[in-house]
């Protein structure tokens, strides 16, 4: 096989990409692409854990299905949800076999926590609140022992190469100067989230909607983009200028923390008296928005002052340390928090094997719409989704690759190369999305934003530029437009999509 020819190209090195790579038949040659460094991914930032009934008990599986359906307003696909839940035990077992360790008690039994929308404790965690980083570190160690997997860092996939409705690889830009095609029989998009499209997000700022943008340009079906989840408790500071906001895991509320408004009232009793702070995220974020609006402020408080600081430090070492650096001690101080963009529930449409409407193109993880998420996403189902659909994409590839031919019928196009950074355009996209396509939406704001995004997209398409910043900005503009257009079309309020007119 020639250089830059692979059996499988995987775009993205988060949990879905790594787990898919490790489950591809070791006799197949795999290329794993990262546009920066392998560990700069959203999965690294995941704190809470992996939702999983780690047992064969059908009634507990049914409860997990029921919680997922209810939290997502019943517009998710029950068949997909059942597939996710019923494959959780076996898939997480495979993760453990690869060397990943979850937190255990003194008897060696797994410790489970609870988050919003879950009726029981079923979330496995690692290093307290370091689940994502521990899992990614461990999988990276295994990936580096596999001779069939080649990692390309600082290499951004620009566009999918499509011939006769078949994807045959992608064009890439390495270190900002080498532009070349990578050919593969099968390609998996595992590029994760879209956080950078908004002005404030819990995501790694590398999350510029790259997978969605390139799939859209290639003609892939994209669905349910209006459902963008806002995490209720990102740390708030009026002094921080970064668009990336520090996440305070919902598991802190799962272990007993309260939410207070600026008047120190426990306001969730007005919105969901039964589940209170452990209502699903759409309900909690919308409640916080309402409280902030009514009290003329831009944050509420996470209250852990009734909890033991020593316990909190041990259970949530990452959150404890970060908050301490910002001047807040968990267990002693009220922590200012506000919602921030966190997760895209829609995405590129796939079946249960990760296949899209384009031959040989698969999607796994947050950029996919598999049907498991509806109008919202149940906490900690996302890492599970990466595992289950990463695994089943790899399985389908192993089973079908022998029937797939290489096609190299492609010549790379020369493009101009200007040294623009596109910062003003990115800021404009974030500002409009925050103002009009955020927790609360209306027709006028959505239409205005659509027009602005139309103009930005047209301009970008008219003046192509062979740089990473250009392609990221194009992906952001197209992703933002897909969200806005879907939000305009859906007139009723449901889940994360709250329309006031
Ligand atoms: C959290 O720990 O609150 C986030 C986990 C998730 O998004 O499921």
Atom of ligand 1 nearest to the CA of 380: 8
pLDDT in tens, 134-185: 999 999 999 999 999 999 999 999 999 999 999 999 999 999 999 999 999 9
Reported confidence tier of residue 189, pLDDT bands at 50, 70, 90: very high
Interatomic CA distance for residues 44 and 240, integer angstroms: 21
Closest approach atom of ligand 1 to CA 378: 8
Mutate to test the pocket of ligand 1, among 128, 201, 247, 318 (most ligand atoms within 8 A of CB): 247
Which atom of ligand 1 lies at the shortest distance from residue 248's CA?
Answer: 3
Contact present, 343 and 377 (Cβ < 8 Å)? yes
Give the position of tokens 């120190």: 264
Own/partner long-range contacts of 440-446 (Cβ < 8 Å, ≥24 apart) = 440/286, 440/289, 440/498, 440/500, 441/487, 441/497, 441/498, 441/499, 441/500, 442/499, 442/500, 442/501, 443/488, 443/499, 443/501, 444/501, 446/484, 446/487, 446/488
3-state secondary structure 396-444: HHHHHHHHCCCCCCCCCCCCCCCCCCCHHHHHHHHHHHHHHCCCEECHH
| Per-residue pLDDT tens over the stretch 81-137 | 999 999 999 999 999 999 999 999 999 999 999 999 999 999 999 999 999 999 999
Nearest residue (by CA) to ligand 1, atom 1, is 249
CATH 1.20.58.100 is right for the domain spanning 423-499: yes
Report whether pLDDT(3) > 80.
no
102 touches 387 (CB < 8 A): no
**Active site (annotated) includes residue 281:** yes
Residue 2, pLDDT score: 65
Ligand 1 nearest-atom number relative to CA 115: 3
Strands 50-51 and 112-113, how do they pair? unpaired
Pocket of ligand 1 (CB under 6 A): 46-48, 249-251, 343, 379-380, 382
Ligand 1 atom with least separation from CA of 51: 8
By the 8 A CB rule, do 330 and 304 touch? yes
The predicted-structure confidence for 459-501, as pLDDT tens digits, reads as follows 999 999 999 999 999 999 999 999 999 999 999 999 999 999 9
Residue 239 pLDDT grade (very low, low, confident, very high; cuts 50, 70, 90) = confident
From 281, 315, 377, 426, active-site residue: 281
- Whole-angstrom distance, CA of residue 318 vs CA of residue 46: 11
Ligand 1 mean position, distance from CA 430 (Å): 22
Compute the distance from residue 46 Cα to the ligand 1 centre, in Å. 6
Residues with Cβ < 8 Å from 386, sequence gap 6 or more? 14, 15, 16, 19, 43, 190, 364, 365, 366
Expressed in angstroms and rounded, the spacing between residue 280 Cα and the centre of ligand 1 is 11
pLDDT tens digits for range 262-299: 999 999 999 999 999 999 999 999 999 999 999 999 99
CA of 98 to the centre of ligand 1 (A): 23
Q: What are phi and psi of 43, to 5 degrees?
A: -60, -35
Confidence (pLDDT) at 238: 85
Q: What CATH architecture is 230-341? A: Alpha-Beta Complex (3.90)
Calculated CA dihedral for residues 174, 167, 212, 50, nearest 10 degrees: -90
Strands 228-235 and 334-344: antiparallel
Confidence at residue 408, expressed as pLDDT on a 0 to 100 scale: 85
Q: For residue 384, report the distance from its CA to the centre of ligand 1, in Å.
A: 12
**Tens-place pLDDT, residues 396-426:** 999 999 999 888 889 999 999 999 989 999 9
- Determine which residue's CA is closest to atom 2 belonging to ligand 1: 48
Q: Which atom of ligand 1 is nearest to the CA of 48?
A: 2
Q: Where in the chain is the domain with CATH 1.20.58.100?
A: 423-499
Token pair 């192993």 in the structure block, residue? 398
Instruction: Specify the domain boundaries for CATH 3.90.700.10 within the chain.
Output: 230-341
Q: What dihedral do alpha carbons 103, 105, 107, 109 form, nearest 10°?
A: -50
Residue 361 in tokens = 């193109």
Please choose from 42, 231, 259 the residue to mutate so as to test ligand 1's pocket, defined by most ligand atoms within 8 A of CB: 231
- Ligand 1 centre from 111 Cα, in Å? 17
pLDDT digits (tens, 9 = 90+) for 418-460: 999 899 999 999 999 999 999 999 999 999 999 999 999 999 9
| DSSP bridge partners of 174 | 155, 178
Q: Which atom of ligand 1 is nearest to the CA of 379?
A: 8
> What's 92's DSSP letter?
H
Atom 8, ligand 1: residue with shortest CA distance = 380
Residue 456: which residues within 8 A CB-CB, separation 6 or more? 425, 428, 429, 477
Distances, alpha carbon 29 to alpha carbons 1, 21, 85, 159, in Å: 9, 10, 31, 21
Best of 15, 42, 115, 281 for a ligand 1 pocket test (most atoms within 8 Å of beta carbon) = 115
pLDDT bin (cut points 50, 70, 90) of residue 241 is: confident
Please spell the DSSP secondary structure of 189-223, one letter per residue. Answer: E-----GGGSSSBSS-TT-S-HHHHHHHHHT--EE
Residues 346-369, mean pLDDT to the nearest whole number = 98
What is the per-residue pLDDT for 483?
98
Q: How far is the CA of 380 from the centre of ligand 1 (A)?
A: 5
Question: What values do phi and psi take at 300, rounded to 5?
Answer: -125, -170
Reported as a single tens digit per residue, the pLDDT across 14-73 is 999 999 999 999 999 999 999 999 999 999 999 999 999 999 999 999 999 999 999 999
pLDDT of residue 1: 63
Could you tell me the distance, in angstroms and rounded to a whole number, from the CA of residue 450 to the centre of ligand 1?
Answer: 30
What is the 273 CA–ligand 1 centroid distance (Å)?
22
């Amino acid at each position: 096989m020639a250089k830059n020819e692979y059996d499988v190209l995987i775009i993205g090195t988060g949990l879905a990409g790594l787990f898919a790579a490790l489950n591809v038949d070791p006799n197949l040659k795999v290329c794993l692409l990262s546009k920066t460094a392998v560990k700069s991914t959203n999965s690294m930032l995941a704190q809470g854990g992996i939702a999983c009934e780690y047992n064969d008990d059908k009634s507990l599986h049914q409860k997990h299905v029921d919680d997922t359906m209810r939290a997502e307003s019943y517009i998710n696909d029950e068949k997909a949800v059942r597939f996710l839940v019923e494959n959780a035990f076996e898939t997480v077992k495979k993760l453990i076999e690869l060397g990943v360790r979850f937190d255990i008690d003194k008897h060696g039994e797994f410790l489970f926590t609870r988050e919003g929308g879950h009726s029981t404790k079923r979330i496995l965690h690692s290093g307290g609140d370091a689940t994502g980083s521990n899992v990614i570190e461990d999988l990276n160690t295994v990936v580096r022992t596999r001779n069939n997997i080649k990692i390309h860092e600082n290499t951004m996939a620009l566009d999918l190469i499509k011939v006769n409705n078949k994807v045959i690889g992608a064009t890439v830009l390495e270190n900002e100067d080498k532009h070349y095609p990578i050919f593969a029989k099968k390609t998996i998009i595992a590029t994760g989230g879209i956080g950078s499209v908004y002005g404030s997000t819990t995501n790694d700022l590398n999350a510029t909607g790259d997978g969605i943008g390139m799939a859209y340009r290639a003609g892939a079906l994209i669905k349910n983009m209006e459902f963008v989840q806002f995490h209720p408790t990102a740390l708030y500071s009026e002094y921080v200028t970064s668009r990336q906001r520090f996440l305070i895991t919902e598991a802190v509320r799962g272990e007993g923390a309260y939410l207070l408004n600026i008047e120190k009232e426990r306001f969730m009793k007005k919105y969901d008296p039964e589940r209170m702070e452990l209502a699903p995220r759409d309900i909690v974020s919308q409640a916080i928005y309402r409280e902030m609006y009514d009290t003329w402020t831009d944050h509420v408080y996470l209250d852990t002052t009734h909890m033991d600081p020593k316990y909190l430090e041990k259970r949530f070492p990452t959150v404890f340390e970060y908050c301490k650096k910002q001047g807040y001690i968990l267990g002693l101080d009220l922590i200012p928090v506000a919602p921030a963009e966190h997760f895209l529930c829609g995405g590129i449409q796939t079946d249960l094997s990760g296949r899209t409407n384009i031959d040989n193109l698969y999607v796994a993880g947050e950029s996919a719409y598999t049907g498991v998420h509806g109008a919202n996403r149940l906490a900690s189902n996302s890492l599970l989704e990466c595992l289950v659909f990463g695994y089943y994409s790899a399985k389908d590839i192993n089973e079908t690759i022998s029937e797939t031919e290489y096609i190299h019928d492609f010549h790379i196009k020369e493009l101009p190369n200007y040294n623009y950074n596109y910062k003003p355009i990115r800021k404009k996209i974030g500002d409009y999305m925050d103002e009009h396509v955020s927790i609360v939406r209306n027709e006028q704001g959505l239409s205005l934003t659509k027009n602005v995004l139309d103009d930005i997209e047209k301009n970008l398409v008219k003046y192509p530029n062979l740089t990473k910043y250009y392609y990221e900005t194009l992906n952001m503009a197209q992703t933002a437009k897909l969200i806005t257009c879907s939000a305009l079309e859906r007139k009723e309020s449901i889940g994360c999509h709250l329309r006031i007119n």
